[in-house]
A and B are shown apart, each in its own frame.
Chain A
């Protein structure tokens, strides 16, 4: 157990319990919560856990602020889409697409990093913002290749399509390709998460923490700070790209709004902060809470506003259209009460 978690135990009984519940719920989601919508939510949680964890490697461990994380996510997703479109459906296309996506993301991160991290970490934030916007524009302009604003719909291997049946049913759940894709996403995300956990607890991860704490002194004890920052950025970019690949395999569709928009970037920031920066487990909690809120807050509020009908003002406040307002309120409250994130709070209060 220690080896699997790289020695980074939850260090709080409540946290361990919550993590275990999330793990079991995600592992058995198709059986526990059968339904297109719920399984889709579970898959999104898996993908976002990896995406947020990879962002935390940079922000929470390396102290590097980037606005290009969705871009790396998108590169991985478009990698799958382009490979599947041009090579035809097949597992080889998935492997090539994911591999190429991860490599391109790492190469791009290397160039941006070497170019800007040498100067000042804040300069890096600005450059990533510029590059991410440029790439988003490029993708919508090159409609011949990328499908432009409409995006690309593509086919994944037959074994991963809903039409593929490999048995009748188990516990009332149809044994089809959709179930297999879910488990591909789940297992892929689990492996990526455990790898990231390993990286942050390795000697390399300690150096990143040292750099975040005091880059001046890290340099003075012999660490070439720039190289570590660039390496962290590249690793983080590839992990984000792989998360994007999983997402594309799940959706069998990519488009600027789904995998490249600035909105996703803001969501990632919110998830990191809610869960707790500098703790990989924060990514799990943050992503789970956020995706659940995104998906169910609207419905919850709709029914709540129905309940308080007749009371003045309340129904308007609780109307489903106001869900973003309430998400904002939840965010402000969570930052106010848990400045170190949910995980930081749970670990203190042990």
Chain B
């Protein structure tokens, strides 16, 4: 197997006396979709925060393509290839849908320090942003202010920003939470498409077992911050840890 693109080594963070992520050692390989499961408060979001740099680790390391990125800022990690969508919607509320996505595309095109040209007249940037909006079925709402969107559409835009970023490592934190039954499939299909692109790595925090069974190549289970299980989906779902902890129900019911 090729060397892992992303690795965490004994990654740990303590909040006061509480160990939220406890010495998690895990490798992620290019082309793999890994589902991360565990009850609420297990430390899944915190684990993501450590990888994308929103919080600093108490101990342990994060490596991207073999290089320790523990000292890099969030922005630097993003540009190095770690992209993140958030569990709690985290957008630019008073800008339009199109402008939200265009900001991502523009950063990619390294136009951020362009002081002179008109932002709205960059055709290729606008086209690329519109293409992303088509994919998440938000193109009709391109001109709307984000704060006026429904919750479901805001969740879609959250995903759209990550798609526009097109990082080497995609991190989705409960992307379909709070979406209606007809909205969720659009997002799940997009994630399935990413899986088809063999050079993309996906980390997905998700509670719905049917979704995980359909998409995941591998499941890791976090429990009280520690890695409790890691393996093939069928194997992990059947394992004692998961059976005992969740008794076969959807993980979110726990």
Contacts and interface: CB of A to CB of B under 8 A. Distances in A.
B117 A203 contact: yes
A214 B94 CA distance: 10
Given A7-B120, A203-B122, A222-B79, A217 B91 contact: yes
B114 A204 contact: yes
Contacts of A7: 118, 120-121
Interface of B: 52, 54, 73-76, 78-79, 84, 86, 90-95, 99, 102-104, 106-108, 111-122, 161, 165
Contacts of A213: 92-95
A262 interface: no
Nearest to A208: B112
A225 interface: yes
A213 B145 CA distance: 13
Going nearest first, the 8 A-B pairs with the smallest beta carbon separation are A222-B78, A213-B92, A203-B111, A222-B107, A203-B114, A219-B74, A7-B118, A224-B75
B92 A214 contact: yes
Interface size class of A (residues with CB under 8 A): 20 to 34
Given A7-B118, A219-B75, A220-B84, A203 B112 contact: yes
Contacts of B108: 222
B58 to A, nearest CB: 21
Contact of A203 (B76, B95, B106, B161): B106
Nearest to A221: B104
Contacts of A202: 114-119
Interface in A196-219: 198-199, 201-207, 209-210, 213-214, 216-219
Contacts of A199: 115
A223 B75 contact: yes
A65 B201 CA distance: 41
A71 to B, nearest CB: 24
Most buried by A among B73, B76, B92, B102: B92
Contacts of A326: none
Given A201-B118, A206-B103, 10 more contacts: A198-B116, A202-B114, A202-B117, A203-B111, A206-B119, A213-B92, A218-B103, A219-B73, A220-B74, A224-B76
